[in-house]
Each structure stands twice: as structure tokens, then as C-alpha cells.
């Protein structure tokens, strides 16, 4: 009697999981490996350089140009130049990161929340 209640509880639990979750079976098996990723401190410095020059460029655009179409063109062309100049000042540096092994058999995504 006790084992039949356990079986019914397990079946009910499995049915509830399939009702409340979108269940997929991706079967991802990946061994550990080393990956090259950008150094976060260098990228933060690059972002700071870009934002500072972008702010200055916007001040020039909105302070001296009255036509919105010309402002938009000025900003879009100068953003590419600013990104290139900041990348020349702060070159990208890659660091090696060891990714751990992954074992993924079942994915559960909530259906209703």
C-alpha cells in the first residue's frame, strides 16, 4: 500500500512538471575547455574612454549645430571615429578562462510566470 502511494505521488509530480513547465531534453555534454575572453578591466577602461568622448561629442553637436538631421549625422559618423580612436589608445587584451565541464540533460522553462 505504501509503495503504490509513492508511485502515484511520483506520477502526479511528473504530470505536474509537464503541465507547469516547458520540458526539453537538449542532452548537452561538454568537457572542460579553455576560452579566450576580453579582459574586463581593459574593456571597462575602453568603455570609460568611449563614454567620455561621446559626452564631449554630444556637447559639441547640441551646442553648435541647430539642425537635428545634421546633429544626427554628425553623431553617427563621430561615434565610429571615437570607437576607433579609443580602441587604438586601449587595445583589446584577451585572457584565458577555463570553462568547467557541463552536463545538461533536461531544461525546465516555466509556462505561466
User: pLDDT for 10-34, tens place per residue?
Assistant: 999 999 999 999 988 888 877 888 8
What average pLDDT does the structure give for the chain? 90
> Which residues does 20 contact at the CB level (< 8 Å), separation at least 6?
110, 111, 112
For 96, the enclosing helix (H) or strand (E) is strand 94-99
Annotate 16-29 with b (16+ C-beta within 10 A) or e (fewer): eeeeeeeeeeeeee
Residue-wise pLDDT tens digits, 69-88? 999 999 999 999 999 999 99
pTM given for the model = 0.61
Amino acid at each position: 500500500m505504501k509503495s503504490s502511494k509513492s508511485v502515484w505521488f511520483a506520477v502526479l509530480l511528473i504530470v505536474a512538471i509537464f503541465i507547469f513547465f516547458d520540458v526539453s531534453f537538449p542532452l548537452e555534454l561538454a568537457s572542460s575547455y579553455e576560452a579566450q575572453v576580453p579582459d574586463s578591466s581593459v574593456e571597462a577602461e575602453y568603455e570609460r574612454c568611449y563614454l567620455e568622448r561621446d559626452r564631449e561629442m554630444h556637447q559639441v553637436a547640441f551646442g553648435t549645430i541647430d539642425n537635428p538631421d545634421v546633429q544626427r549625422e554628425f553623431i553617427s559618423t563621430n561615434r565610429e571615429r571615437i570607437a576607433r580612436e579609443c580602441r587604438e589608445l586601449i587595445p583589446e587584451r584577451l585572457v584565458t578562462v577555463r570553462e568547467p565541464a557541463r552536463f545538461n540533460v533536461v531544461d525546465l522553462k516555466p509556462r505561466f510566470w
